[in-house]
Amino acid sequence: MVMKMDCIFCKIVNGEIPSYTLYEDDIVKVFLDVNPDVNGHTLIIPKKHYQNLFDIDNDTLMHIMDIAKQIDKLLKDKLHTDGLTLVQNNGLKQEVKHFHLHLKPQYKNEEKLLPVEEVYNKISA
């Protein structure tokens, strides 16, 4: 599997950096963003290092979207979300140059931002 040693997401995949993992298979790892915009802000990353949308293969991209649907259901069940925004940056706005999809839950009523560990405990309960 292709990895970049200086990539923070590759280090998360390798277990060098801990994460609040919600799901993992041979292709992707799904974990809570440690600097969330909203409760349940989740990232889906391919385990193989792809820089951006223009670098990733279609099979992996479709798998990521299938997993996004599963995680949306999990967030609805555990956090009672009312919607979901998907964000994927390329180029200038892409802080980490490893393809990743943000899942940002929406809530009818504004939610107080909770510590990530507390959100993780609600989801994994």
**Catalytic-residue membership of 100:** yes
Q: CB burial class (10 A; 0-12, 13-18, 19+) of residue 64?
A: buried
Q: CB burial class (10 A; 0-12, 13-18, 19+) of residue 32?
A: buried
**Residue 124: closest CA among 36, 13, 21, 26:** 21
| Residues 35, 11, 118, 83, CA torsion sign | positive
The catalytically annotated residue of 41, 49, 100, 102 is 100
Residues taking part in catalysis: 100
